[in-house]
Amino acid sequence: MDDATWNTIGRLHTWLAEAATRPPREETLLRILKLSEEVGEVAQAVIGVTGQNPRKGTTHGWQDVQDELCDVIVTAMVALRTLTPEAAEVFTTHLQRVADRSLDGTGPAA
């Protein structure tokens, strides 16, 4: 992720922190739980794309799924920033570990 992305995440974090009305620990827990809500919206969009609810039929498009996935990513990034001001570094380090173990040539695609 580039600096502009993390700068925007920092601004969103600040905006949420300034609007907070609960004790800090509760705000942090609720921000993390917000991920479950967003993932549920992805599932709802996929169900809507595939028409799996016969009562409702096809209610969403793949663009809706993409938008909801983006909401999950943003929400996770803000939650990570809530836990640590070094969110960008934490993410970059973790992504490198995932890439190292997944793309080292020994996985299923090798």
Q: Nearest CA to 30 among 40, 41, 42, 17?
A: 17
Residue 99 lies in a domain: no
> pTM for the complete prediction?
0.90
How many structural domains does the chain have? 1
Rounded Cα distance, 92 and 74, in Å: 15
Residue 19 lies in a domain: yes
Residue 36 lies in a domain: yes
pLDDT value at residue 106: 66
Residue 16 lies in a domain: yes
Collect all residues with Cβ–Cβ distance below 8 Å to 49 and sequence separation of at least 6: 58, 60, 61, 62, 64, 65
pLDDT of residue 86 exceeding 90, the answer is yes
Residue 31 lies in a domain: yes
Residue 100 lies in a domain: no
Collect all residues with Cβ–Cβ distance below 8 Å to 13 and sequence separation of at least 6: 78, 81, 82
17 lies in which domain range? Answer: 3-93
Residue 14 lies in a domain: yes
Cα angle value 60/74/65 (rounded, 5°)? 15
pLDDT tens string 47-79:
999 999 999 999 999 999 999 999 999 999 999
Average pLDDT over residues 92-105: 93
pLDDT of residue 107 exceeding 80, the answer is no
